[in-house]
Amino acid sequence: MAERLKFDLVSPEKLVLSAEVDMVEVPGVEGDFGVLPNHSPVMAMLRPGTLTVESDGKRQSFELDGGFVDVTPEGVTVLAETISQA
Amino acid sequence: MASLKELRNRIASVQATQKITRAMQMVAASKLRRAQEAAEAARPYADRMGAVLGNLAASINDVETAPKLLAGTGSDKRHLLIVATAERGLCGGFNSSIARLAREDAQKLMAAGKQVQILCVGRKGYDVLKRYFDKELLDPVSYQGLKGIGFDQAQEVASRVLADFDADSFDMCTLYYSKFENVISQVPTGLQIIPASFDDSETPDLGGAAYDYEPEENDILDALLPRNIAVQILRALLENAASEQGARMTAMDNATRNAGEMIDSLSITYNRSRQAQITKELIEIISGAEAL
């Protein structure tokens, strides 16, 4: 796994997580989708659900109450109002 | 010349005041650190939100179909000024400088024949502005008794503003708050939030690929713009909280120093008059003894 994905998880009150990860799974309004490195640019709304981050075979999940994801060649940014670690 | 007892009382009272101002200074200093951290922690979200919106706005070509929050109502007749200030005083020129900026802008707008509405967030701004305005003032929002500022409060203000906007009661909205530069400098600032303004300077390089939107651009904008208002308000409130503590710290530092100077000069006066009185009594005793 040479290539990794820069991932930021941001709530209005703080930067919850900022890390290099292997994969991010987000609950999009039109269905869940996973983001791997070199994903094409996407902007999507999120519905309330679980966001999963995978890095080095370890999985970390967060509960979101809806939000927004921005995938660019530089990385993935998730903006959500309330984030709790599940 | 005041009597010795009066001087003693005055010194004691200035000392008591100094104790209070010093305590307030230290409380403000420790609150400042927390407020500053909160303000800094909120920056990434607001910045990203701005960047994302800037992107989206740039991709929307047809102004006709763009949401009103972005494009405006096409008129600039009616203005809403949101004035965010503190709940408490004793923080130097903090509240009055924000209120002054808002007041001057409001008067300028009114002189230009525009309609102005003012929404005060925080009790102090309302107290100042109600001397100058009457029917322009909307019911103020107050955070009295609340521990800290969170997204919920910002959301509350935002939903009220958005409800008013949807009810078509104003065209443009400007937010007044104090930007936290550093501990000794806070700059009162007016930021236009409706129609949305942002710098689209940091549009990311997509490497030639086109953005996919899920759902459509306009749907995303519709959902994001109201959220952006809340985020901007939150940011203003947090900056304000940090500025307030900074201003209070500086003000109380000055007050403590002034109290110290006052105590020094009062002590000198006190010692001199005490000395003078002793000398006088001695002279009386000695001359009395000599007369015998």
Q: What is the pLDDT of residues B144-194, one digit of tens each?
A: 766 677 788 888 888 999 998 888 888 889 999 998 888 888 899 888 888
Which residues in A1-86 belong to E strands, given as ranges? Answer: 5-10, 15-21, 23-28, 31-35, 42-55, 58-72, 75-80, 83-85
What pLDDT is recorded for position A2? 58
| Nearest beta carbon to residue B215 from set A40, A45, A81 | A45
Best residue in B36, B48, B151 to probe A by mutation, most A CBs within 10 Å? B48
Non-local (6+) Cβ contacts of B70 within 8 A are B57, B60, B195, B196, B221, B225
What pLDDT is recorded for position B61? 60
* Mean pLDDT computed over every residue of chain B: 86
Whether the per-residue pLDDT at B201 is higher than 60: the answer is: no
pTM above 0.80, yes or no: yes
Quick one: CA dihedral A8, B54, B70, B114, positive or negative?
Answer: positive
Q: Which residue is associated with the tokens 């103020």?
A: B140
What's phi and psi for B11, nearest 5 deg? -60, -45
> Coil, helix or strand for A47?
strand
- Tokens representing B200 are 């689209």
A13/B42 Cβ within 8 A: yes
Q: Where do the domains of chain B lie?
A: 50-246
CA nearest neighbour of B171 among B190, B193, B154, B198: B193
Rounded to an integer, the average pLDDT of B226-230 is 86
Nearest CA distance, B84 vs chain A (angstrom): 18
In which element (H, E) is residue B78 found? strand B78-84
Superfamily of domain B50-246, CATH level 4: ATP synthase, F1 complex, gamma subunit (3.40.1380.10)
Q: What is the pLDDT of residues A40-75, one digit of tens each?
A: 888 888 999 999 999 888 899 999 988 889 888 888
- Quote the distance between the C-alpha of residue B224 and its chain's center: 26
Nearest CA distance, A34 vs chain B (angstrom): 14
B204/A74 Cβ within 8 A: yes
A12/B215 Cβ within 8 A: no
